[in-house]
Each structure stands twice: as structure tokens, then as C-alpha cells.
């Protein structure tokens, strides 16, 4: 491929042809559609919202007829595929409604000093799962900020928001059946102050609607059987040994987890998941499954008698039994269960999807067993790891510089074609233990998210670090125009958003 930089599109589209001329934008743009449909008004409104950031005086008028920008419905095997043609007279977007949103994101990124250079793009993503995770438990972030992450994802044509809603340090979703989760489990004592918060059903619907406009699916995570201290602080009877417990103000892995022997645990979790399934319309529910110590289960009479009764040979099999039982429950609600790669230990529920985080071994094993897999290894996809050796950057985890993210290929070489087809895609995770401010969070995420978007969207043969770096250099102005905080990969003496 040519490495000449003629645009600063990130991620790089599958094909880009530069044409002659330029479409200059008038203060009022019109957007037309073939048949009168709400869908065009939605895509048009989103485009207007995005363009106004670059050119505030712009207003879009949705018209059924001749216009500057046309959205044309065109079916393709991939609903995210689109073509975008810019000529001096007109801009034409072809695709499904999802494709239109991806095209709108590209169009907004191509906007340059009052207009667009003529070009023709044909595009579709490499992977169907292009994800970002957000932990709102270690630090709580309100809807307004969650939307900022979703928006920057959509601008980079990413499509999956994994919302980590429960953990030891806080429970963040109001559940009508259990008010103590919002009254007790959502709050912790932080140096004498009460810290925390939770989302109401209305908050969640607001986020879902915002994500839906951007054609981003939202996957909630309700952790089990570990990372349960926040729950147990309100419901100590769901533990093996009883409480009292407190919502944790420190990070780590805690021995007190849901008891796998008591039926009350399953009554509770099923009621919670029932509400979660009703609230979140998407097909996936993440149940965590990571980092669950078996210490309490080993000495708990209820857990031990469960193991006997079910013929389970050790506590790993008990975890597998636990997760499988919840998987069957989710199946009955028409949902697919996702879990971190620990759910492989002791046997995997037949329909589970594995998110491989402790390297790629879990993903490789699961893909070979015929399970769908999402790659999110700590080696490339953990955006709480530092970007550089700069002393201000938080934490003592490893360093994942942006070029390491960029060089990642989510399909491990050792997989044959059949197993490789099980890799749905890639996701980066934002664990917020060390991110007490949103500004710092953005600094840790950007511009690594830009690199990840290209890993997820662009075919490997088109990827080229040098070319990306040149585009990124220009693209930083785009991030700045949209008000995002980011780490400048080239400049010395960066401002650090403490
Ligand atoms: C994880 O990072 N514990 C999934
Ligand atoms: Zn127990």
C-alpha cells in the first residue's frame, strides 16, 4: 500500500480512492432520503451533532429530495458495510442504517477546513466485536461521562460497550427487587467520606438510547461468583460464613464470595439477572467469573454438600457448575452468556462465550472447543497499564505503548481457519482503580483507543505503523476539537491531567 497520507481517517478503511475536486460545505446542509423514514432523520441528526462540533454555525435540514448529502439504503452481507462518495456536488452514503452511522463517523473525520476533498470509500469491518469496557465500580462515573466514551467509540467505528457494573468496591445498578443494593452496596467509606453512586433504570435507558443512535451494543456485566463484597455487605447471608462485610475501599481479590451451596444465592442472582435482561435489549450478558478464590467454599458445609450432591470433584468444578447454572438461566431468557477466561476451569458451559484476558491461551482453548471468543489480553488491551515510563502515569502495572496496541493481531497464529473463525473480535478494558478522575481516564484511553479501532476494523495486510502514526499526528487535532484529553505520543513535556 501507499504510505502517502492523503487523509487522517482512523481506522483506515478497506479501500480509499482520492478523486479530483472538493465539496465545500455551506452553512446549511441538506440531507435527503429516498423514502420518508425516521432512520434517515436519526442518521442525519447524529451527523449534524457531530459536524456542529467542527462547524458550529452549521444546521442540517432533512429533506425528501435533492440535497447535499444522500443516505441510500443498500443491503450487504455485513450490516456495518458502507460506501461513501464525495464529489464536488454531492455526498452519497450507501449502506444499511448501521452502515450509515459508520459512514457518518468517517465523513466527520474527513471534514477539513470547511469541506471535504472528493473521494470514494468502500468499507466494512474485519471483526464484528470491536469493544471497550468500562469499570464504573472502582470509580463511579455519571451518565454524562459514560456518553463521552460511547461517542468517541462511535467516531472510531467501534460497536460494543461492555459496562462493568458490579464489583467489590461498588454495585452500580438499581435493582427494583433489592433496594439495599442501591442504598448500601453502592457506597463505600473513603477516608471518612461516603463515596459511590449507581445508575437508575432511567439512567441506563438514557445510555442505551444514546448507544443505539450510534449503533453500539451495550453489554452489562454482573460479576459472579467472586468480586461480590459490595453485594455481601448488604446481603451477608449470601456468603459462606456470614458477615459483617463492608464495601471495599481497597483493591484486590477477596476471599468472601457468593456461596455456591445456598439456594438463596441463586434466587438472588436470578432475580437480579431477570431485571438486567429486561432492561438491556442486547443478546449478551457478561457474568464475570474471574478471580474467584475458593478459600471459603473449601470449608463451607453448604458448598461441600453441594459438591457431593452434584458429584463435583473439586471447587473448580463447583465454579463451573455455578456458572453453568447461570448460563442455563440466561439461555432461558434468550441471552448469551459471556465470561472471563476463568470460566474454562472445571468445564465450560456449552453456549458460553469466552473473553480471554490472561493472555490468549484461554481464547485459543475455547476457540478450539468451538466457543466464540473475544480477545482482550493484558499484553495489549489493558488501558489501565501505563502508556510510557513517564513518572506521573499511575500504577505499577506493565507498560503498553500505543504501538504495542497497534501491532496486536487478535487471531493467534496457532489457530486453524475453523477455530480462527470463532474469534469475534477484540476489546480493550478500562479498569479504574488508578483512575480517580475522568480526565485521567481519557488520557489513559486516548489515543490508544484509536490504535485499537484500527486493530479491530482494518484488515491486517493494510496495517502499517508508520502510516498510522502520520494519520494519528493529524488526528490528534480531531480529538482536541471534540474536547477529549489525550496523551500526545510525540511531544515532550506533556500536560498531565492529574
Ligand atoms: C480481569 O481483568 N480481572 C478480567
Ligand atoms: Zn458456601
- Residues touching ligand 1 (Cβ under 6 Å) are 290-291, 340, 357
**Angle 315-332/263-279 helices, nearest 10 degrees?**
40
Calculate how far, in angstroms, residue 375's C-alpha sits from the geometric centre of ligand 1: 12
Domain 15-123 sits in which CATH superfamily?
Chitobiase/beta-hexosaminidase domain 2-like (3.30.379.10)
pLDDT digits (tens, 9 = 90+) for 318-354: 999 999 999 999 999 999 999 999 999 988 888 899 9
CA–CA distance, 215 with 198 (Å, rounded to integer): 24
Ligand 1 pocket test, candidate residues 291, 341, 362, 434, most atoms within 8 A of CB:
291
Q: Residue 285: name the closest of 234, 328, 342, 320 by CA.
A: 328
Calculate how far, in angstroms, residue 225's C-alpha sits from the geometric centre of ligand 2: 11
Among the listed residues 167, 168, 342, 442, the single catalytic one is 167
**Low-confidence residues in the chain, pLDDT < 70:** 1-5, 33-37, 492-494, 498
Contact between 315 and 287 under an 8 Å Cβ cutoff? The reply is no
Q: Angle at Cα 126 formed by Cα 207 and Cα 163, nearest 5°?
A: 25
pLDDT on residue 409 = 98
pTM for this predicted structure: 0.97
CA–CA distance, 86 with 121 (Å, rounded to integer): 9
The dihedrals phi and psi of 328, each to the nearest 5 degrees, come to -65, -40
pLDDT on residue 34 = 59
What residues does CATH 3.30.379.10 cover in the chain?
Answer: 15-123
Q: Residue 408: name the closest of 383, 380, 450 by CA.
A: 380
pLDDT on residue 6 = 80
pLDDT on residue 391 = 75
* β 115-123/166-167 pair status: unpaired
pLDDT on residue 388 = 87
Please give the grid coordinates belonging to residue 104.
457518518
Contact between 65 and 32 under an 8 Å Cβ cutoff? The reply is yes
Ligand 1 pocket test, candidate residues 254, 427, 431, 433, most atoms within 8 A of CB:
431
CATH number of 129-481: 3.20.20.80
Strands, E, within 253-394: which ranges? 284-288, 336-340, 353-356, 373-375
CA–CA distance, 448 with 128 (Å, rounded to integer): 20
Among the listed residues 139, 227, 286, 380, the single catalytic one is 227
Closest atom, ligand 1, to C-alpha of 382: 2
Say whether 167 is catalytic: yes
CA–CA distance, 132 with 145 (Å, rounded to integer): 14
CA–CA distance, 334 with 278 (Å, rounded to integer): 11
Which residue has the least CA distance to atom 3 on ligand 1? 290
What residues does CATH 3.20.20.80 cover in the chain?
Answer: 129-481
143 Cβ partners below 8 Å, 6+ apart?
199, 203, 206, 207
Ligand 1 pocket test, candidate residues 223, 338, 356, 357, most atoms within 8 A of CB:
357
Please give the grid coordinates belonging to residue 348.
465450560
Calculate how far, in angstroms, residue 126's C-alpha sits from the geometric centre of ligand 1: 25
Amino acid at each position: 500500500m501507499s504510505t502517502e497520507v492523503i487523509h487522517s481517517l482512523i481506522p483506515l478503511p478497506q479501500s480509499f480512492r482520492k478523486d479530483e475536486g472538493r465539496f465545500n460545505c455551506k452553512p446549511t446542509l441538506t440531507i435527503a432520503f429516498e423514502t420518508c423514514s425516521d432512520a434517515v432523520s436519526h442518521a442525519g441528526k447524529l451527523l449534524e451533532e457531530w459536524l456542529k462540533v467542527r462547524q458550529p454555525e452549521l444546521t442540517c435540514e432533512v429533506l425528501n429530495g435533492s440535497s447535499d448529502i444522500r443516505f441510500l439504503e443498500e443491503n450487504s452481507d455485513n450490516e456495518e458495510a458502507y460506501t461513501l462518495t464525495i464529489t464536488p456536488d454531492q455526498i452519497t452514503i450507501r449502506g444499511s442504517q448501521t452502515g450509515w452511522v459508520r459512514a457518518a463517523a468517517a465523513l466527520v473525520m474527513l471534514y477539513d477546513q470547511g469541506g471535504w476533498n472528493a473521494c470514494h470509500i468502500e468499507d466494512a469491518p474485519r471483526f464484528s466485536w470491536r469493544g471497550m469496557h468500562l469499570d464504573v465500580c472502582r470509580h463511579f462515573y455519571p451518565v454524562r461521562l459514560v456518553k463521552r466514551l460511547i461517542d468517541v467509540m462511535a467516531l472510531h467505528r467501534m460497536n460494543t460497550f461492555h459496562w462493568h457494573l458490579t464489583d467489590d468496591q461498588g454495585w452500580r445498578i438499581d435493582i427494583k427487587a433489592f433496594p439495599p443494593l442501591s442504598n448500601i452496596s453502592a457506597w463505600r467509606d473513603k477516608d471518612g467520606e461516603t463515596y459511590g453512586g449507581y445508575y437508575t433504570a432511567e439512567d441506563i435507558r438514557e445510555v442505551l438510547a444514546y448507544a443505539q443512535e450510534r449503533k453500539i451494543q451495550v453489554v452489562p456485566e454482573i460479576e459472579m461468583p467472586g468480586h461480590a463484597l459490595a453485594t455481601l455487605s448488604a446481603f451477608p447471608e449470601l456468603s459462606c460464613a456470614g458477615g459483617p462485610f463492608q464495601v471495599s475501599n481497597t483493591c484486590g481479590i477477596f476471599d468472601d464470595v457468593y456461596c455456591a451451596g445456598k439456594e438463596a444465592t441463586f434466587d438472588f442472582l436470578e432475580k437480579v439477572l431477570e431485571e438486567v435482561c429486561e432492561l438491556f435489549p442486547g443478546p449478551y450478558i457478561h457474568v464475570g467469573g474471574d478471580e474467584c478464590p475458593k478459600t471459603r467454599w473449601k470449608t463451607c458445609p453448604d458448598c461441600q454438600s453441594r459438591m457431593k450432591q452434584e458429584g463435583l470433584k473439586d471447587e473448580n468444578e463447583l465454579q463451573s457448575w455455578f456458572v453453568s447454572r447461570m448460563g442455563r438461566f440466561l439461555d432461558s431468557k434468550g441471552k448469551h452468556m459471556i465470561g472471563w477466561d476463568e470460566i474454562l476451569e472445571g468445564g465450560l458451559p456449552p453456549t458460553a462465550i469466552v473473553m480471554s484476558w490472561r493472555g490468549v491461551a484461554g481464547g485459543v482453548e475455547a476457540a478450539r472447543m468451538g466457543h466464540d471468543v473475544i480477545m482482550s489480553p493484558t499484553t495489549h488491551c489493558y488501558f489501565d497499564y501505563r502508556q510510557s515510563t513517564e513518572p506521573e502515569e499511575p500504577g505499577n502495572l506493565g507498560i503498553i505503548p500505543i504501538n504495542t496496541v497497534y501491532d496486536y493481531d487478535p487471531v493467534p497464529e496457532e489457530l486453524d481457519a475453523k477455530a480462527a473463525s470463532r474469534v469475534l473480535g477484540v476489546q480493550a478494558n478500562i479498569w479504574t482503580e488508578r483512575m480517580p478522575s475522568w480526565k485521567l481516564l481519557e488520557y489513559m484511553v486516548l489515543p490508544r483507543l484509536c490504535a485499537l479501532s484500527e486493530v479491530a476494523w482494518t484488515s491486517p495486510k493494510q496495517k502499517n505503523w508508520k502510516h498510522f502514526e502520520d494519520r494519528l499526528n493529524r488526528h490528534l487535532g480531531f480529538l482536541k476539537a471534540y474536547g477529549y484529553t489525550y496523551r500526545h505520543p510525540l511531544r515532550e513535556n506533556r500536560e498531565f491531567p492529574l
